[in-house]
């Protein structure tokens, strides 16, 4: 009996050792600029050895890597007399563990949740393609040409997450820039973390004042529903469902918004410097924790339905309350847009996981969302088919890694969206009736 028990224990230990050895092999394999699920922007704040290793791997592909941290880039701008801040991540700002409070603050009599970034500053976004992307924010902290807010009316307004803001694409190379090249009065209200409650808020706070002909509601697969879960925790945002107009009147409160955000970003900067001063052993802790959880192996086998490091397509298609909230947000956006004679389009962006891990989870989300959007009566512009038509869709993502689209990916999005905009401009038939039969 003891011999059998000993044999059994040895077998169990050997199996566990084999599993963790495989986890380690997969983690090492995906640690460079290959098919990794950890985004390239993880370089920001990485250890010196990690940065050097990534730079060597990138050099093989002829790429150069800016190994500075974002806080270093901001500080160097300051040394040159340039007012600069890191980009705001709204989802990880008021709603994350490092978020700023939504109670009454020193700069105003009422609670306030900013919807954009800091106005009229050099904004440092991220380093995903090897070089930091920066832009000069407009009068309300968004990524638009300065002065656009003085226009009495817009042609197009676009709301959505970081893909819309242009993470991590240079000026003139994002799909919004390519749309603006054809339609100069295009207002970009995209910002990282902006899911459907924040999108509805942006439409009521900003878009309605400019009555654009078209509003593009951009949905990012595998990201938006998870962010909506966090948004739904805040009564201030839920207030937009019961308030017909702007509930915060942010067009006239930019100085308050800037003050709140600067305090928040200062706190994040302090914490980033503190983390950088930690011993190497402490900074390795997240990597070891991921190994304990078998993150790389689970990613490879899709053992947890696509859940992985970063924004992975968590299957939320059975969450009726969440989907009902999404539907109500979209329905209100449709109603508000129609109130001035505008048209709302729903733009669906595919995720990296769809092409790396297979379409099963992504297709379930897509089918669920398209059903709800069709019920509301909003025409759908589906970008996923165009990505799928590419010989290797992963080449449309920076270094083929999890994250945002590269230049080619943004160009594909623009090529899909622009014909819809041209058709809308030349036809008077209701947009929902012009939807191609295969778009659903």
**Number of domains the chain is built from:** 2
Query: Would you say 235 and 99 are in contact if contact means Cβ atoms under 8 Å apart?
Result: no
Which residue has better confidence, 298 or 145? 145
Examine the domain organization and report whether 283 and 175 are in the same domain. Answer: no
Examine the domain organization and report whether 235 and 341 are in the same domain. Answer: yes
Rounded-to-integer distance, Cα 243 and Cα 239, Å: 6
Please report, for the chain, how many H helices and E strands are present, in that order. Answer: 17, 8
Query: What average pLDDT does this structure show over 30-44?
Result: 54
> Tokens 């078998």 map to which residue?
294
Secondary structure (3-state) at 253:
coil
**Cα–Cα nearest to 113, from 261, 296, 5:** 261
pLDDT at 201 over 90: yes
144, two tokens = 């638009």
Rounded-to-integer distance, Cα 45 and Cα 353, Å: 24
Final residue in a domain of this structure, among 237, 268, 303: 303
Order of strands across the sheet that contains 132-136: 84-86, 122-127, 132-136
**Cα–Cα nearest to 85, from 48, 134, 44:** 134
Q: Does a structural domain hold residue 46? A: no
Query: What average pLDDT does this structure show over 387-411?
Result: 92
Q: Does a structural domain hold residue 107? A: no
Domain that holds residue 297: 1-30+278-303
- Which pLDDT value is given to residue 309? 37
The whole-model pTM stands at: 0.84
- Which pLDDT value is given to residue 44? 72
Query: What average pLDDT does this structure show over 7-24?
Result: 74
Examine the domain organization and report whether 245 and 347 are in the same domain. Answer: yes
Examine the domain organization and report whether 315 and 292 are in the same domain. Answer: no
Q: Does a structural domain hold residue 91? A: no
Q: Does a structural domain hold residue 320? A: yes
Examine the domain organization and report whether 288 and 322 are in the same domain. Answer: no
What is the DSSP annotation of 286-346?
A: HHHHHHHTTHHHHHHHTTTTT--SSS-----TT-HHHHHHHHHHHHHHHHHHHHTT-EEEE
Longest Cα–Cα distance of the chain, Å, equals: 86
Query: Would you say 364 and 370 are in contact if contact means Cβ atoms under 8 Å apart?
Result: no
Query: Would you say 348 and 383 are in contact if contact means Cβ atoms under 8 Å apart?
Result: yes
Q: Does a structural domain hold residue 266? A: no
Query: What average pLDDT does this structure show over 88-106?
Result: 53
Give the list of residues 6+ apart from residue 72 with CB closer than 8 angstroms, or none.
none
Q: Does a structural domain hold residue 210? A: yes
Final residue in a domain of this structure, among 303, 337, 368: 303
- pLDDT band at 435, cuts 50/70/90? very low
Which residue has better confidence, 25 or 220? 220
Q: Does a structural domain hold residue 352? A: yes
Q: What is the CATH number of the domain that holds 332?
A: 3.40.50.1110
| Mean pLDDT for the chain overall | 82
Examine the domain organization and report whether 231 and 249 are in the same domain. Answer: yes
Examine the domain organization and report whether 250 and 284 are in the same domain. Answer: no
205, two tokens = 């706070």
Examine the domain organization and report whether 292 and 183 are in the same domain. Answer: no
- pLDDT band at 431, cuts 50/70/90? very low
Examine the domain organization and report whether 21 and 157 are in the same domain. Answer: no
Examine the domain organization and report whether 317 and 384 are in the same domain. Answer: yes
pLDDT at 33 over 70: no
Examine the domain organization and report whether 189 and 319 are in the same domain. Answer: yes
Secondary structure (3-state) at 241:
helix
- Which pLDDT value is given to residue 361? 87
pLDDT at 13 over 80: no
Q: Does a structural domain hold residue 404? A: yes
Which residue has better confidence, 100 or 434? 100
Q: Where is 229: in which H helix or E strand?
A: helix 224-231
Examine the domain organization and report whether 319 and 246 are in the same domain. Answer: yes
């Amino acid at each position: 009996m003891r011999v059998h028990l000993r044999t059994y224990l040895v077998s169990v230990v050997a199996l566990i050792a084999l599993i963790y050895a495989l986890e380690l092999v997969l983690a090492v394999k995906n640690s460079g600029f290959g098919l990794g699920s950890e985004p390239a922007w993880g370089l920001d704040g990485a250890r010196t050895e990690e940065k050097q290793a990534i730079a060597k791997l990138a050099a093989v592909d002829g790429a150069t890597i800016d190994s500075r941290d974002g806080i270093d880039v901001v500080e160097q701008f300051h040394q040159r007399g340039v007012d600069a801040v890191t980009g705001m991540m709204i989802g990880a700002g008021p709603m994350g563990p490092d978020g700023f409070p939504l109670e009454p603050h020193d700069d105003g009599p009422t609670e306030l949740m900013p919807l954009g970034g800091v106005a009229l500053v050099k904004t440092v976004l991220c380093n995903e393609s090897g070089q930091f992307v920066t832009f000069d924010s407009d009068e309300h902290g968004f990524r638009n040409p300065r002065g656009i807010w003085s226009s009495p009316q817009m042609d197009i307004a676009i709301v959505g997450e970081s893909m819309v803001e242009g993470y991590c694409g240079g000026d003139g190379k994002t799909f919004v820039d390519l749309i603006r090249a054809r339609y100069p009065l295009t207002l970009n209200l995209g910002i990282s973390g902006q899911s459907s409650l924040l999108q509805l808020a942006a439409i009521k706070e900003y878009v309605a004042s400019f009555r654009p002909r078209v509003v593009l509601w951009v949905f990012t697969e595998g990201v938006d529903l998870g962010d909506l879960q966090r948004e739904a925790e805040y009564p201030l945002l839920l207030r937009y469902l019961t308030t017909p107009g702007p509930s915060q009147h942010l067009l006239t409160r930019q100085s308050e918004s800037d003050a709140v955000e600067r305090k928040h970003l200062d706190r994040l900067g302090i914490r980033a410097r503190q983390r950088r001063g930690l011993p190497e052993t402490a900074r390795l802790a997240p990597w070891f924790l991921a190994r304990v959880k078998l993150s790389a192996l689970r990613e490879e086998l899709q053992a947890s339905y696509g859940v992985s490091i970063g924004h992975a397509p968590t299957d939320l298609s059975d969450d009726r309350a969440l989907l009902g909230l999404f539907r109500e947000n979209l329905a209100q956006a449709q109603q508000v847009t129609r109130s001035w004679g505008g048209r709302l389009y729903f733009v669906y962006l595919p995720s990296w996981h769809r092409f790396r891990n297979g379409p099963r989870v992504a297709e379930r989300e897509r089918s669920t969302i398209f059903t709800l959007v069709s019920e509301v009566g909003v025409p759908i512009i589906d970008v996923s088919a165009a990505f799928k038509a590419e010989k290797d869709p992963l080449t449309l993502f920076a270094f083929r890694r999890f994250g945002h689209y590269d230049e080619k990916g943004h160009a594909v999005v623009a090529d899909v969206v622009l014909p819809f905009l041209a058709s809308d401009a030349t036809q008077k038939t209701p947009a929902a009736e012009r939807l191609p039969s295969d778009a659903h």
